[in-house]
Amino acid sequence: MAKEGPNWDGLLKWSLAHSDGTNPSRNLSEEDRKWFMEAVQAQTVDVVKRMKEITLVMQTPEQVLEAQGVTSADIEDMLDELQEHVESIDMANDLHSIGGLVPLLGYLKNSHSNIRAKAAEVVTTIVQNNPRSQQLVMEANGLEPLLSNFTSDPDVTVRTKALGAISSLIRHNKPGVTAFRLANGYAALRDALGSENVRFQRKALNLIHYLLHENASDCNVVSELGFPRMMMHLASSEDAEVREAALKGLLELAREETKGADGSLGEDEKLKQLLQERINGISLMSPDDLGAAREERQLVDSLWNTCYNEPSSLKEKGLLVLPGEDAPPPDVASKHFEPPLRAWAANPSTDKSPSSEKKEAPLLLGGPPPEAADSQNNSGAGEDANGQPNR
């Protein structure tokens, strides 16, 4: 079947024919203007209208959709589309006003794991760096099904996506953090650290680090729950991101203990053994791996310094800062701009002639146009034909 819609090839040829610079510009005829507008409008999506249509589907009972031949894959594709729309903060906030937020949260309880996971992804997009939508989701009791999926869903992908949504929901959201604590969220994070899924571990460690960094008083809670030992274990993970995230959490705990004059973490021989093993491992890395492990090297040294009040042996071995890592950033400007630009920038108001309003101009990429070059040869001033700085 031929695809319906405007003839885009024809539209492209028409546009090129009327904008290639070889013909003088002309006014469009009414017929051309009408054809062009219809072609454009035919492909213009009314996002709010489309979101309302998606909302209507989400409000339809699952068994009704199945009876009409709608599969879980179809719903997942629809949620994919919705996620694209709500990447706009305005559209994300509008989802509630058109009645779509509550049925979306209902999909977190769907019988299909792929839909539960995708719904959590959409929630993540909606609430990320969006205080208004964070508030709306909290008011709609959206944290409860997310916590349920995070703690007890049989599918680890669903658990991981739910944790990602929780992390975005409670960041910079004090009521959200409080509700997470009251719901025994730290115990759930401890269970996540015991998972064998690396991605699940990473997300849990990153949220732990954020919570400890923002709420130093929580360090006592996680210590009592046995987090330090679990993070020490994960600091030896084969996954570099897991190692770094675990070291970040341990560093937050160590710094807080230092403030409170409680050195229990630094007195733990297992931690010292761990750090020494990481130093030995780093010492055996290839140059490429050393460069990639820059953050890990710095974390190991910072943790050692915090716990034992002295630099780690990485510094003595010259592995803390590799040659070139402390060099200033490359001079990008000199590669793209001619030297006169800097001279002009240093003294832009210099006039070559008291009777002239002309000013020196910076040279643009590729040097001055031929007219400006001729003017410079004749007058010595870096200006265009009108005596104004080149832009």
pLDDT mean over 149-172: 98
Report phi then psi at 353, rounded to 5.
Answer: -135, 130
Percent of the residues in the chain that have a pLDDT greater than 70, as a whole number: 74
Report d(CA 363, CA 339) in Å as an integer.
8
How many C-beta atoms lie closer than 10 Å to residue 39's C-beta? 16
Residue 391 has a pLDDT of 46
Indicate whether 25 pLDDT > 70: no
Residue 390 has a pLDDT of 53
pLDDT mean over 183-203: 97
- Do 210 and 218 touch, CB atoms closer than 8 A? no
Report d(CA 193, CA 195) in Å as an integer.
5
Position 37 confidence tier, pLDDT thresholds 50, 70, 90: confident
Report d(CA 60, CA 78) in Å as an integer.
14
Domain covering 45-183 in this structure, CATH number: 1.25.10.10
Tell me the average pLDDT of the chain.
84
Residue 380 has a pLDDT of 47
The per-residue pLDDT for range 245-258, each reduced to its tens digit, is 999 999 999 999 88
Indicate whether 130 pLDDT > 80: yes
Q: At what angle do helices 8-17 and 30-42 cross, to 10 degrees?
A: 130
Position 109 confidence tier, pLDDT thresholds 50, 70, 90: very high
How distant, in Å, are the alpha carbons of 206, 242, 281, 320, 332 from that of 237?
A: 15, 6, 12, 21, 38
The per-residue pLDDT for range 298-338, each reduced to its tens digit, is 999 999 999 999 999 999 999 999 888 876 766 666 655 55
How many C-beta atoms lie closer than 10 Å to residue 57's C-beta? 16
Residue 374 has a pLDDT of 52
Report d(CA 191, CA 204) in Å as an integer.
9
Indicate whether 349 pLDDT > 70: no
Indicate whether 379 pLDDT > 90: no
- Do 279 and 273 touch, CB atoms closer than 8 A? no
Identify the top-confidence range among 28-32, 65-69, 377-381: 65-69
Residue 1 has a pLDDT of 40
Residue 202 has a pLDDT of 97
pLDDT mean over 332-351: 55
Indicate whether 369 pLDDT > 80: no
How many C-beta atoms lie closer than 10 Å to residue 162's C-beta? 29
